[in-house]
Each structure stands twice: as C-alpha cells, then as structure tokens.
Amino acid sequence: MDIIDRQILQILQEDADVAISEIAARVGLSSTPCWKRIQKLKEEGVIQKRVVLCDPEKLGLNTTVFVKVSTNHHNEEWIKKFALSVQDIPEIVEAYRMSGDVDYLLRVIVDDIQGYDAVYKKLIQACDLHDVSSSFAMEVIKYSTALPVHE
C-alpha cells in the first residue's frame, strides 16, 4: 500500500458513499485508476465490506454496557460454545478474549437496564461462567469506526 491507497482508505472510512470521481480528485488520480485501486484493496481484504452506521439513540438503544467475563473453563469446547453464544446475541456488538485478570470483554448495546438484564440471562444460561461484572457507560467521549492509516 502506498500513500494514495492510504488516502483512499481515509476518505472511504469517513464516508463510503463518496463518488469515485470525488475520491479520485482528492487523491490526484483519474476515476479509472482510483476505481482499480479500490477494487484491489477489496480483493486483498483490506476493505472487508461497506456498511451503514446507525445512531443508537435514534434506535432507542441508549445504554452501552461493558461486560467483563471470567471463566474457570479454558478448553476449546467451552470457548467454541461461548463464541457461538455471543454470536447469537445481537445486543453483543463486540467481544474480545483478553489477557490479564479478565478472560473476555464484551460491549453490549441495549435500550435500558432491563434490556441488559435480558442479555445477561441469555449469557449465563448459555455458558458456565465464573464471574460477570458489568459497567454502564455514562457518556461517549470518543467513538470511531475509522482505523488509523498512517503514511
């Protein structure tokens, strides 16, 4: 990837609806070479997909919960079961296996505390967990889906 590819990625991460001609003009190319670069970035898996980002509040999803999960089970069968359970709960929008004193960290988006309680009940019913600790976000200071594409 060169500087032009990185510029294209920055533009597309800001707004994936920008016309090819505008992207091309902003990076100093004509439309066809710009389009070919974008196609190559897709083929190489750098651009995974294009999505629509929704405003959670406008969907009535006003509560973000960070859930720390600890387990006494560290075998492949349990991990697969946990991963499938997490995939099946749409309110869990991110899930990470962690190092340190917490095994997993989840980001959950729900309408309210009762909505989180329903997610919590699904989660503990699906898998044997040692400890579940929840923290409710009070305010969003920064949120971005754009990855840094330094030159």
Residue 59: pLDDT band by 50, 70, 90 thresholds?
very high
**Tell me, what's the pLDDT at 37?**
98
Residue 9: pLDDT band by 50, 70, 90 thresholds?
very high
Dist. CA 40–CA 32, nearest whole Å: 12
What mean pLDDT value characterizes the chain? 96
Residue 46: pLDDT band by 50, 70, 90 thresholds?
very high
- Look-up of token digits 């973000």: 64
Residue 151 has pLDDT above 80, yes or no: no
Instruction: Please say whether the beta carbons of 103 and 129 come within 8 A.
Output: no
**Tell me, what's the pLDDT at 150?**
84
Q: What digits encode the pLDDT tens for the residues 124-146? A: 999 989 999 999 999 999 999 99
Q: In which region does residue 100 sit, left (phi positive, over 0), alpha (psi from -120 to 50) or beta (all else)? A: left
Nearest to 137 by CA among 109, 99, 100: 109
- Look-up of token digits 């974008």: 38
What predicted TM-score, i.e. pTM, was given to this entire model?
0.88
Cα–Cα separations (whole angstroms), residue 128 to 74, 82, 91: 11, 9, 20
Dist. CA 91–CA 64, nearest whole Å: 10
**Tell me, what's the pLDDT at 73?**
86
Q: What digits encode the pLDDT tens for the residues 97-124? A: 999 999 999 999 999 999 999 999 999 9
Strands (E), 14-129: 63-70, 92-97, 104-110
Strand partners, 65: 108, 136
